Structure 1
Amino acid sequence: MSLLSMRQLEKRYGQQVVLERMNAEVAEGEFVSIVGASGCGKTTFLNMMLGIEPPSRGKLLLDGKPIPQEPGEDRGVVFQRYSVFPHLTALENVMLGEEFVQARWLGRVWGRRRRAINDRARAMLAQVGLEHAAAKYPHQLSGGMQQRLALAQSLIKKPRILLLDEPFGALDPGIRRDMHQLLTDLWRRHHLTIFMITHDLTEGFSLGSRLWVFDKIHHDAQAPDAWGASITYDIQLDRQPAGVEQRVSEMIYPPGREA
């Protein structure tokens, strides 16, 4: 079974059709880069994945069931603008998600439970190269460091799906290259399924295992809002989905059997 299924998915606002005839299947571990002209519904699609925009028609299924109409721990998100809390340190930003969840059931988190959250947050900061910046506030971090922090903040809850809305658009080229390597490492390490919007076609081809092009098949100058965008190209790239190498290795060398 596919992780994600779209069947005749459509999104409209009143008479304006944004997306239509969206049909695709996405397997777990794929990295889908999404490109297309401004205004063709890329961010709207991510918002439907996140659960903050409902489909107008058709089906958007996760594990064969409709995606919940609210954000959930199974879907992390990183935006182009640094979405971290300015009044919290880097460590506190990463701890916050787990503290909210536990506080919902236990009240304020103290003692052993908070130390365990602290340890996991520090380990996540180390994964994104920010262990030295745990006590710093966002305004003391560079743009690249703030995006590393946003990634750590999203991944601490171990989501299955990571949604990225032009996460590197505001970064300098050199920093972007470093972030590309970091994202690739995190994708492989956590076996994530990633949907990333980018306006950089080279970035889309180099990072993704699959490339979607959003565009309008129909163009009508007299009624530009009458038609929505759809996936006009679905290109399989050379990169293997995250986790494939491990699964192949386990088939050749089952657990308990020496290589």
Structure 2
Amino acid sequence: MSAISIKDVWKEYGDQIVLENVSIDIASRAFVALVGPSGCGKTTFLRMLLGQERPTRGTILLDGEPLPAEPGPDRGVVFQRYSVFPHLTVLGNVLLGKELRAARLSARLFGAARRQAVEEARAMIAAVGLSGSEDKYPAQLSGGMQQRLALAQALVMRPKVLLLDEPFGALDPGIRAEIHVLMKRLWHDAPMTVVMVTHDMREAFTLATRVVAFERPRDRPEEKLRYGANITKDITIWPPRKAGEASLIRPDRDGPVPSQGH
């Protein structure tokens, strides 16, 4: 399972309030898109889910348990800038997480354990459409291929929650459409919950089961320090999308229709 529960969360930096009184429940295997103006705390919210930031007040639960204080293998993340290691091959990048998890000091696996890890890494590389590129370095890959590699790097660890921080924003429209189809298939196949920050409303409504808007209700210059952003709209996509439905892996011809908001 991979349900997330956020209750009365505030995030402050000194005298500045970034988020105030945020509460939301995210069902296991949901795909939630976070939208809103720049600077309204979407990425801060994502960093709290990752464990890079701690809420000033309030609670964040994963499957009913307090979220660990530090990032862990239960949460994968993909950023807009390609978060891959330039000195490692495609296979080396995907394999690294498994090696670090199993052998923290040496970051090396041996024997049967290494063969199993390599097999899983190759399978994930194939799943994201990079078969044949295992021995290439990131500099030899296009932007779209590097982002596929970043997805493979995160997903090979089988996270409960995948966090996406504008992961496709730097891609040209044609490549982005291809990655959208891939993302739907990966979510369809893997038992995980996805939370994605995006500024692209079409992307949000194309991929997500739910679109959540963050805004600052009070946004005058003299109010920005005293009042933070919170959730102003929560729209469920209609007809509902559920992970595991075969139709999810086909490209959308028409934009989805929101069912409700508040």
How far off its partner does 1:108 sit? 3.5
Residues 93-137 of structure 1 show CA distances to partners (whole Å, capped at 9, x for unaligned) of 000000111113887421221111111100000000001111100
1:86 maps to: 86
Conserved? CA contact 2:160–2:193, under 8 Å: yes
1:153 maps to: 153
TM-score (norm: length of structure 2):
0.90
- How far apart in 2 are the matches of 1:42 and 1:235? 16
- How far apart in 1 are the matches of 2:187 and 2:212? 18
Unpaired runs of at least 5, structure 2: 247-262
Q: Which amino acid aligns with 1:88?
A: L
Q: Which amino acid aligns with 2:128?
A: V
- How far apart in 2 are the matches of 1:44 and 1:241? 27
1:5 maps to: 5
Root-mean-square deviation over aligned CA pairs:
1.7
1:87-126 superposed matches below 5 A: 87-104=87-104, 108-126=108-126
- Larger mean Cα displacement after TM superposition, 191-200 or 144-153: 191-200
1:134 maps to: 134
1:231 maps to: 231
Matched, 1:219 2:219: yes
1:256 maps to: none
Where 2:180 maps in the other structure, the secondary structure is helix
Q: Which amino acid aligns with 1:209?
A: T
Distance 1:174 1:108, change over 3 A: closer
How far off its partner does 1:83 sit? 0.4
TM-score (norm: length of structure 1):
0.91
Residues 177-213 of structure 1 show CA distances to partners (whole Å, capped at 9, x for unaligned) of 0000000000000032100011101110111000000
Q: Which amino acid aligns with 2:222?
A: Q
Unpaired runs of at least 5, structure 1: 246-259
2:255 maps to: none
Residues 23-66 of structure 1 show CA distances to partners (whole Å, capped at 9, x for unaligned) of 11110010000111010001100100000100000111111222
Residues 203-242 of structure 1 show CA distances to partners (whole Å, capped at 9, x for unaligned) of 1011100000000122344232100001100000024231
2:192 maps to: 192
Distance 1:24 1:227, change over 3 A: same
Q: Which has the larger radius of gyration?
A: 1
Q: Which amino acid aligns with 1:57?
A: R
- How far apart in 1 are the matches of 2:61 and 2:245? 23
Matched, 1:174 2:174: yes
Q: Which amino acid aligns with 1:132?
A: G
- How far apart in 2 are the matches of 1:206 and 1:24? 21
- How far apart in 2 are the matches of 1:2 and 1:101? 20
- How far apart in 2 are the matches of 1:29 and 1:11? 26
- How far apart in 1 are the matches of 2:154 and 2:230? 28
Conserved? CA contact 2:2–2:193, under 8 Å: no
2:61 maps to: 61
- How far apart in 2 are the matches of 1:105 and 1:222? 50
Number of positions where the alignment pairs a residue of Structure 1 with one of Structure 2: 245
- How far apart in 1 are the matches of 2:157 and 2:221? 46
- How far apart in 2 are the matches of 1:45 and 1:201? 18
